Structures are given as structure tokens and as C-alpha cells.
């Protein structure tokens, strides 16, 4: 826990989902919280420890139900990525983004606190925000996970266009990264980024192919690594002051005989160690991620438009390239990725394509029906050709289960009750089957 804490009205109360999209303050010892949540399995397989789960419901309720009533979370969550409402006070077509600040802070605090005991030992939590609340969110995350769990603030370039009307044209979001085990321990289990091999060259015609180069010196004075090196042009070199050669003289001679050293400046320069592609260590991630590497909001919208050309595009989608980088750094195949603000479904789609297990919660049923469900059906059947599909050679496969978790409090409107949900899902499935048939017929005609 942090010694310095952020204070807000009703902080001592729990914030639980109520009705279709509201919330209700409650004392944490309210006996109604002891009543088990109900849930309706909407697919035909049980929720076991290998299931991918698309849940309709508030993230806190979904976590509580899955933890207490299923084995889905029993092996621990390796990655949490959440892209919650930013609280910009601007409402979007798919969700309201104008909560009162105390409610927003409790909403985040309670859901992060519910995730903490479900995390694997080497887990990390990534919270994606803009400038509206990110500074307060970091204080909340310090309280929930401890200040020592902070790893980094990643700056993501979300757009490349300029807003000439603004005092500053904001083109970035911030992703707060926390690891309960602490950054030193977590870095031993996180993955490095692949090194770009495009810069490799073959400047000496080496039959082993192109290579990169690194200095053949090391910091500090080591007696066994102080010796003369004679360049191909006859110059006699010693290590620079305060440094030593990279290896002992015998190792130097072995490398020289193996053609692993290169002398720049036409043979006059200090030796450089040649590194071939298979010898290159991966890259430690920077904290600034550019659009060319991780895509933009506009890229994400264009991807959605290819899947849903006849409907309104989701207002605030994230690109698959961004989630690919996060999931690559934080997980390995088969490990569990959780997102409790599912939105347009980017986290689920990328996790599925990268062969991770996933749990996604989305409270807005219409968002599930319009975006999340049909998107994941396309991912499974191999008809989603955008995003990272080509990069990782995704051709479809796998499956997921669906569950509805209604809130304990408030009253759901008719369209959100389980009977209506099942009818809408049946209608959605019929449309999906028809759409698949049309695509298959078009493919046959084209071939």
C-alpha cells in the first residue's frame, strides 16, 4: 500500500453495478453482497479451466462469478489490459464517458482490487487512459498494487493528424504498467521485442549472410583484456582509456580466425564484433510507441469498417498492432489475458489469434451484439482478414463460450433480461450463418 493516498467522497463505500448501466454505493459489509450472483451460460460447453469466455456483464460481477463458480481463473491471470472509459465528459455512441469523478475512481479501484488476488505471480496490469484521469489513476494503482509495483508509463501515439483548433494537439494516450512482483522480478519473465533485421548488412561478403556489429570493448580495466591489436592496415591499437577489449587475447584470436571481427575505416578502425541474425538479443521495450509500430485509432476504425461496412463504426477502438505488442511482451501462448472493458473486442481478437486464453467482459449488450460477438465469430471462422491476421498467418480456429452475468442491484430493461438476450443471440447467429454462406458463395464464384 502507498503511504500517500488519494481521497475522494464515498471512498469507503463499494461501487457495484445496478440496472442496465448504473452504479450503486454500498458499504463493503452489506449483507446483500453475500448473495451469490446468478449467471446464464449461453453456449453449450461448461466454463472449464481451458475456456475462452465472452461475458455480458459488469467486470467486477464477472470476476466474482468466474472465481467463485468456475475453474476459468484457477491457473491465474498473466495479463490484464483494460481500456476503460476515460471520463472525458464527452459521451460516445456506444457508452457514456461522463461519470462523476468519485464514482469513476471507485469504479476503477474496486475492479482493480478484485483482479489483484486472481493474478499469477508473474502477472502485469496495463491500464490505458488519456490525460483526463491518468494522474489520479496512478495514485489509485499505487494504493491497490503498491508503489513498488510500478513498471512504466507507456506513451502511445494514437493519431498522426493535427488538431489546429486546440491549444495543444493531443496525439497520445498513456498506458500505466504495474507488476505486483515488482519490475526487477517481472522483467525476468517478460518477453523482449523482436529486433528489426532490416538494418543488417553484409559489408565484407560473409557467406553466412548479413550481420550487425557491436564495439569490441568493455567498460573498466581488466588486466587480462589489455593487449595489442594489429589492424589489417598495420596499425597497432590499445583499448581506449578506462576500457578493456571485449574478450581475452585468445578469444580475440579465435573470433578473428572465424571471421567474426570487422575493422571499419578501410581496415584502420577499431575492431567490431559481427552479430548474425540468430545471435541478436531482443530489444527492451521503449516507453514511447510510435504509430508506425503499433497503429492508430484510425487504423483500428478502418479495420472495423472492413468487417462492418454497413453499420456505425465503434467510436474508440484500439488497433490490433498495439495489443499484439502488449500481449507479446506480457504473455506466452496458452496463458490467460483478461479485459473487463471489452468494447469493440480488440483484446479478445488479438489474444485469440496469438493463441492465448482470454476472458472479456462487456456490460453493454448492444456493443456485444454489434461488435464483440460478430468480430470473434469472424476470428474463429478465419474471415477476419485485417489487423494482425496476415502478420501471424492466422487462418481461424478455436472457440469461445458466452455467459450472461446480470447485476445484483437495480432493474434490467426488457432487452437486457436473459430471455431477450437469448433471442437476440439466436437472431445474431442466424445472421452470422447467412453471412458466412454468402461469403462462401462469393468465394466459389470468384474462383
Arithmetic mean of pLDDT, 417-434: 77
pLDDT recorded at residue 8:
97
| Residue 70 cell numbers, joined | 468456475
pLDDT recorded at residue 229:
96
Coil, helix or strand at residue 420: helix
* C-alpha–C-alpha distance, residues 447 and 382, integer Å: 18
200 — pLDDT class (breaks 50, 70, 90): confident
Do the Cβ atoms of 323 and 337 come closer than 8 Å? no
Q: Minimal CA–CA distance to 294: which of 331, 327, 251, 324?
A: 324
Helix ranges (DSSP H) in 146-267: 183-186, 249-257
Greatest mean pLDDT among 94-108, 131-145, 296-310, 409-423 lies in 131-145
Coil, helix or strand at residue 376: helix
Arithmetic mean of pLDDT, 372-395: 94
| Residue 162 cell numbers, joined | 493535427
Q: Label the pairing between strands 217-219 and 288-289.
A: unpaired
Do the Cβ atoms of 81 and 337 come closer than 8 Å? yes
3 — pLDDT class (breaks 50, 70, 90): confident
70 — pLDDT class (breaks 50, 70, 90): very high
CATH number of this structure's domain 13-191+284-423+431-446, picked from the four choices 3.60.20.40, 3.30.460.10, 3.40.50.150, 3.10.129.10:
3.40.50.150
98 — pLDDT class (breaks 50, 70, 90): confident
Arithmetic mean of pLDDT, 236-259: 94
* C-alpha–C-alpha distance, residues 383 and 394, integer Å: 10
Contacts of 50 (CB under 8 A, 6+ apart): 357
Do the Cβ atoms of 271 and 261 come closer than 8 Å? yes
Which residue ranges make up each domain of the chain? 13-191+284-423+431-446, 197-279
DSSP state, residue 409: B
Q: Locate cell 580475440: which residue?
A: 252
331 — pLDDT class (breaks 50, 70, 90): very high
| Residue 146 cell numbers, joined | 503498491
Number of Cβ within 10 Å of residue 445's Cβ equals 7
Q: Minimal CA–CA distance to 125: which of 136, 104, 109?
A: 109
* C-alpha–C-alpha distance, residues 388 and 375, integer Å: 14
Do the Cβ atoms of 348 and 82 come closer than 8 Å? no
pLDDT recorded at residue 347:
98
Mean pLDDT of the chain: 91
Q: What is the DSSP string of 26-86?
A: EETT-GGGGSPPP-EE-SSS---TT--EEEES-HHHHHHHHHHH-STTTT-EEEEEE----
Amino acid at each position: 500500500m502507498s503511504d500517500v493516498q488519494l481521497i475522494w467522497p464515498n471512498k469507503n463505500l463499494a461501487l457495484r453495478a445496478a440496472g442496465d448501466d448504473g452504479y450503486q454505493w454500498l458499504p463493503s459489509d452489506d449483507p446483500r453482497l453475500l448473495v451469490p450472483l446468478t449467471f446464464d451460460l449461453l453456449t453449450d460447453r461448461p466454463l472449464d479451466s481451458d475456456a475462452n469466455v465472452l461475458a455480458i456483464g459488469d467486470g467486477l460481477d464477472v470476476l466474482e462469478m468466474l472465481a467463485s463458480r468456475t475453474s476459468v481463473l484457477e491457473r491465474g491471470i498473466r495479463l490484464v489490459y483494460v481500456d476503460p472509459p476515460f471520463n472525458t465528459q464527452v459521451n460516445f455512441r456506444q457508452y457514456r464517458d461522463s461519470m462523476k469523478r468519485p464514482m469513476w475512481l471507485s469504479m476503477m479501484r474496486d475492479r482493480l482490487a478484485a483482479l489483484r488476488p486472481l493474478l499469477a505471480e508473474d502477472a502485469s496490469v496495463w491500464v490505458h487512459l488519456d490525460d483526463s484521469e491518468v494522474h489520479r489513476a496512478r495514485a489509485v494503482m499505487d494504493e491497490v498494487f503498491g508503489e513498488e509495483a510500478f513498471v512504466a508509463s507507456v506513451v502511445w501515439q494514437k493519431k498522426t493528424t493535427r488538431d489546429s483548433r486546440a491549444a495543444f494537439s493531443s496525439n497520445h494516450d498513456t498506458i500505466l504498467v504495474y507488476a505486483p512482483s515488482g519490475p526487477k522480478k517481472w522483467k525476468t519473465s517478460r518477453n523482449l521485442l523482436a529486433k528489426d533485421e532490416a538494418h543488417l548488412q553484409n559489408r565484407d561478403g560473409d557467406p553466412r549472410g548479413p550481420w550487425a556489429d557491436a564495439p569490441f570493448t568493455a567498460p573498466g580495466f581488466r588486466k587480462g583484456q589489455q593487449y595489442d591489436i594489429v589492424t589489417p592496415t598495420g596499425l597497432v591499437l590499445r583499448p581506449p582509456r578506462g576500457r578493456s577489449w571485449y574478450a581475452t587475447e585468445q578469444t580475440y584470436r579465435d573470433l578473428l580466425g572465424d571471421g567474426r571481427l570487422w575493422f571499419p575505416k578501410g581496415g584502420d578502425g577499431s575492431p567490431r564484433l559481427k552479430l548474425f541474425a540468430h545471435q541478436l538479443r531482443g530489444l527492451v521495450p521503449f516507453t514511447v510507441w510510435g504509430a508506425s509500430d503499433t497503429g492508430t485509432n484510425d487504423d483500428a476504425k478502418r479495420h472495423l469498417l472492413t468487417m462492418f461496412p454497413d453499420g456505425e463504426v465503434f467510436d474508440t477502438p484500439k488497433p490490433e498492432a498495439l495489443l499484439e505488442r502488449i500481449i507479446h511482451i506480457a504473455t506466452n501462448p496458452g496463458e490467460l489475458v483478461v479485459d473487463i472493458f471489452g468494447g469493440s473486442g480488440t483484446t479478445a481478437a488479438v489474444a485469440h489469434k496469438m493463441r492465448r486464453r482470454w476472458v472479456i467482459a462487456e456490460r453493454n449488450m448492444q456493443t456485444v451484439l454489434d461488435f464483440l460477438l460478430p468480430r470473434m465469430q469472424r476470428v474463429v471462422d478465419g474471415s477476419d482478414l485485417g489487423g494482425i491476421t496476415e502478420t501471424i498467418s492466422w487462418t481461424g480456429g478455436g472457440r469461445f463460450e458466452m455467459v450472461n452475468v446480470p447485476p445484483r442491484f437495480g432493474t434490467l430493461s426488457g432487452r437486457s433480461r436473459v430471455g431477450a438476450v437469448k433471442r437476440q443471440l439466436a437472431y445474431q447467429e442466424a445472421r452470422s450463418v447467412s453471412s458466412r454462406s454468402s461469403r462462401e458463395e462469393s468465394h466459389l464464384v470468384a474462383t
